[in-house]
Amino acid sequence: MKLREDEVMVAGRDCPIRTAVIRPLGDEPRPGVLLYTDIFQLTESTLRSARRIAAAGFVVCVPEIYPRGPLAGVALEFDDEGKQAGLAGAAATTTEQFDADRIAVLDHMQTRPDVTSLFAAGFCIGGHLAFRAALDPRVEATVCFYPTGLHNGALGADPDAGSLAAASTIRGRLMIVFGAQDPHVPADARVQILAALYAAGHDDLELHVYSGGEHAFMRDIGPRHDPVLTDLALTEALAFLRR
């Protein structure tokens, strides 16, 4: 399927938010997916994943997660310098800012004539941000790919964003994907997340734990990438969103 890609500056509360919008060609209204990146922002690797989702029939909106300060407009390299810059960008961003940006992007998506309904997804820190997007009653389904900080609440500048504590307010469907060899979300952290979600009444969610999967196994650059698991995760995620 051929795609159209545009760059949109979403009007945030205190700054514009550079957002890539990728959708199939044509004017047909389609479901919209708010897709959150990892700490490296709008890299070609993440955009390739966004294109695969869009090619399945979605309007995919991929905002920068650091629209303020020196990282606005920057796609970081997958090296130590890029990693440190991305972590610094997270440390400088509060949960309240992340939430305000999410509201702005969802507001933009809701007013687009080519978007019919709202979904969310994200990778790594973006998986945590996608979980917080699920707290918005407008979001009908959410896929969190190896969300970091969800088990202990750590998000950006805040030691505890209270994300799991708010899980009972989620009204949409939820799917979570983990790699079994992820040191950032080890087995005990996964159990903690699942127990909290079950306690909050989410005992009808989809949980996928892929044997051998490392953290960021879906990032198609570097030794941790697993193409087979990536295809499995995307296939399951797309089937989940279509339901």
Catalytic residue among 144, 208, 215, 226: 215
Instruction: Give the pLDDT mean for 51-69.
Output: 98
- What is the domain-level CATH number for residue 90? 3.40.50.1820
pLDDT over 90 (residue 1)? no
DSSP classification of residue 85: H
Q: In total, how many domains does the chain have? A: 1
Residue range(s) defining the domain that contains residue 233:
3-242
What is the Cα–Cα distance from 129 to 214, expressed in whole angstroms?
20
Amino acid of residue 36: Y
For residue range 97-142, list pLDDT tens digits in order.
Answer: 999 999 999 999 999 999 999 999 999 999 999 999 999 999 999 9
Catalytic residue among 124, 144, 151, 208: 124
For residue 61, indicate whether it is catalytic: no
Contact 121, 34 (CB under 8 A): yes
Q: 61: which residues sit within 8 A by CB, 6+ positions away?
A: 8, 19, 20, 21, 32, 33, 34, 35, 105, 108, 109
Structure tokens at 233: 């995760």
What is the Cα–Cα distance from 124 to 86, expressed in whole angstroms?
12
For residue 79, indicate whether it is catalytic: no
pTM recorded for the entire structure: 0.98
